[in-house]
Chain A
């Protein structure tokens, strides 16, 4: 079923403006201000917390459920180059090749 073209353009405009506003708000709110030390140490922890959440949602995330599919095999295989501190390229290719292989079987 096709959506009306006008709805598509409305979505392009609304989501585009909202996304640009969201991305701009973060850098405008904080810039050039001396933040309280506690807030700074919390913002510093955003990277490990968000990266772990990105790993989880990109590996197991499904439509309102957790799924175990070839992505998990790819990430598990990538743990080896990660542990060996191999270059990112090796890690990414290991994950993709493993997931492709498991999916083909």
Chain B
């Protein structure tokens, strides 16, 4: 009784076809992603112009920053308690307050920000003190070869070679998009390594130490490139002329 009904139906294998269709669609999407993405970003860019909800910010490739932190919570620092310490192989170890940094010569760079996770923010202005100015003031000793950056989240670290750090497009940034850098974006002070992927631009910067060799940073310990150059950057240059 009911045996006939019980046997799995001998009809078309619709579920299998659905699955294979998904696989095919995935392959086609991968192959055409560069074009799809361009169209998508255009549409989204137009939409986000008039989006009071901010909902477009969570859609893929939103043309906006995303929040990354490697720790659970990050202490907040402001004028009253922020300090940037420059030490290591230098003649004059120095500690700067936020006010000290603001009093130094400010440089503004407009550059595209690219994350290794695929999001980008085009033509983003950053403003702050050139790393090379701070290094000059501290007096790098002859055996100094590289820089190690530490952060007041207590965990994150980054690195640059001395030659990279002396480029004109490496900033200790105080302002982003012409506003003071907010806590979420790594404020009050973050690194901005314009010609490199954004993970090189350490947030919540609290220390710069001159070392005799490159010490890989946080993500670099997990396999990221130590030199996070963006495609098309002039790797051997001094950065754009001032």
Do A and B interact with each other, yes or no?
Answer: no
Query: Chain B interface (Cβ within 8 Å of chain A)?
Result: none
